[in-house]
Structure 1
Amino acid sequence: MDDDSIQTILLVTAQSVFDMKSLTPEDDLFALGVTSVDAVRLVSALEADHGLVLDMEVVFESENLAEMAGKIVPVE
């Protein structure tokens, strides 16, 4: 799976989990009002629905969705 596909999956999953109509790779989730509980839901959905792992620490340390997407890895 290439980086663009992973970024698309992250954006679509985040839109669904957070019920937000449009997100861009440059968006900072926490600036948009996403909570830590919401972030857990995103991480869980990525793994359950797409077999992708996003570490919670990365979620909190990333400046935007593009940075997060670059650190997602497939489940081993």
Structure 2
Amino acid sequence: MTENILCEICNEREHTRLCDYAEGTGIVNSIDFQELTETCDKKLCRKCAINIWANCDVCPEHAEQIKAKLSKA
């Protein structure tokens, strides 16, 4: 089986990053009992990824959700 390497937004360019938007928590690492965060992980190319701070890229859908939450704050 071949892994899909295209960006899930444009379906044109190779993905080079994943969406870092936190979608859930609660998974506990059984080794050191640290809580792990589940992220969206949508495959993104450099052009479609929206960088919100250093080493944190999100998909356009989650960028809009972040923008909406910040405008209510």
TM-score tier after normalising by the smaller chain length:
under 0.3
Which structure's CA Rg is the greater one? 2
**Higher RCO (C-alpha 8 Å, min separation 6):** 1
